[in-house]
Amino acid sequence: MKLSIYGKGCKKCDQLTENAKQAAEALGMTVEIEKVTDVNAIIDAGVMHTPALGVDGELVIEGKVASAEELQTLLKR
């Protein structure tokens, strides 16, 4: 599974990345985490508000830092 974190590398983006790592670890999943900081790539992905999270190319969270618990629920789908 590939997780894409969209944002300019701010504190919120870093927290979303950490929460995603914790969620995957709690579920025993192996994930690849990609940080997308290029503004054009962020726009091309359809992101309007950062931080955002994409799972296997599908945008699932935008404009907020989801908790590790929220992310676990999303990753179970």
- Containing H/E element for 12? helix 11-27
- How far apart are the C-alpha atoms of 7 and 19, rounded to whole Å? 15
CA-based R_g, the chain, Å: 11
- Catalytic residue numbers read 10, 13
- How far apart are the C-alpha atoms of 71 and 46, rounded to whole Å? 20
